[in-house]
Amino acid sequence: AIVGFLGAWCVAKVFLLDFLSLGLALSSGVLFGGVLPGAFLSATGATLGSSLSFALSRGQLKQRVDGALAKQPVARGLAKVVEEDGFRTVFVLRLAPILPLPLASYPYIYGTSNVSYAPFAAGTFLGSLKPYLLDAYLGVFSKQLIDGDALDTSKDAILLFGLGVLVLVGVFASELAAESWEKVQAEVAAEKETRGAEAEEGATGSTDEAAGPLSSTRAWLAARLPDETRGEAAEVWAALGGFADFHYPLAAAAALEERRRRSEEEEEAMPGAD
């Protein structure tokens, strides 16, 4: 039963089935005779499944994961943040996964960074204990209510006290997770600014290299445009630069050919020409 349970966790994590993860966590206490063993096995299974996802993102699925991250600036920001403080980021965001990303996608994202496996696995396991203790308790308590079993007051009081402590830990973790989220947002903003600067630089380069009146005209206008309109102007100049780069060589070649043809006609019309 334990092997099948751990295998189900691996399937849930690798295939991003968060609903299956929730079902396993809620049923763990009922299946394995208590909240503590159920939560421990859930954390173990989640860590094993997350480890597989982590390894796949660095191996067979690397190109696919990289392609998915190319469309997700938040995921790219998280990958950069976890490189700076691996264990803390993994641990805190597992305690309080507040990012707008599927929980099961976190190991794939971490795998694209240079964080080592040890802090990733430790952060995942320890961060999983709190939510899975809560889930296991909810599962056991719900079963007792459905079955009409008498509640063990002393035992439940100890569990409730422990769960209350975990809730307080979760509140503190949420504050730390908010800090990580701010770092992710800062990385996203920095990446956006860098790409904008590269696009403007590329637009400047293309228009400066374009022959004709565009290069001198752009320099004249750029010195007179207000700062808030320069971004839009850069896009316009990029389009003009592309147009010029495509059409000017063709027009120049046609003009040179026309000049050569006229020179030949003039030479033929000169007196004394053969």
Q: Is 55 helix (H, G, I), strand (E, B) or coil?
A: helix
Q: What is the pLDDT of residue 99?
A: 86
User: Digits of tens for pLDDT over the chain (274 positions)?
Assistant: 899 999 999 999 999 999 999 999 999 999 998 889 999 999 999 999 999 999 999 999 999 999 999 889 999 999 999 998 899 999 999 988 888 889 999 999 999 999 999 999 999 999 999 899 989 988 988 888 888 765 566 556 666 666 676 666 666 667 777 888 788 888 888 888 777 666 655 555 544 444 444 455 555 555 555 655 656 666 666 666 666 665 556 666 677 777 777 777 777 766 554 4
Find the helix or strand (DSSP H, E) in which 131 lies: helix 117-147
Q: Is 113 exposed, middle or buried (0-12, 13-18, 19+ CB in 10 A)?
A: buried
**Which pLDDT belongs to residue 115?**
94
As a whole number of angstroms, the distance between CA 142 and CA 79 comes to 38
Predicted confidence at residue 207, as pLDDT, reads 45
Q: How many residues does the chain have?
A: 274
∠ Cα 185 12 105 (to 5°) = 15
- Helix axes 18-31 and 35-58, enclosed angle (nearest 10): 150
Would the pTM count as exceeding 0.85?
Answer: no
Predicted pLDDT at 160: 66
Q: Are 9 and 52 in contact (CB under 8 A)?
A: no
In tens, the pLDDT along 253-270 reads 677 777 777 777 777 766
First to last CA, the chain: 104
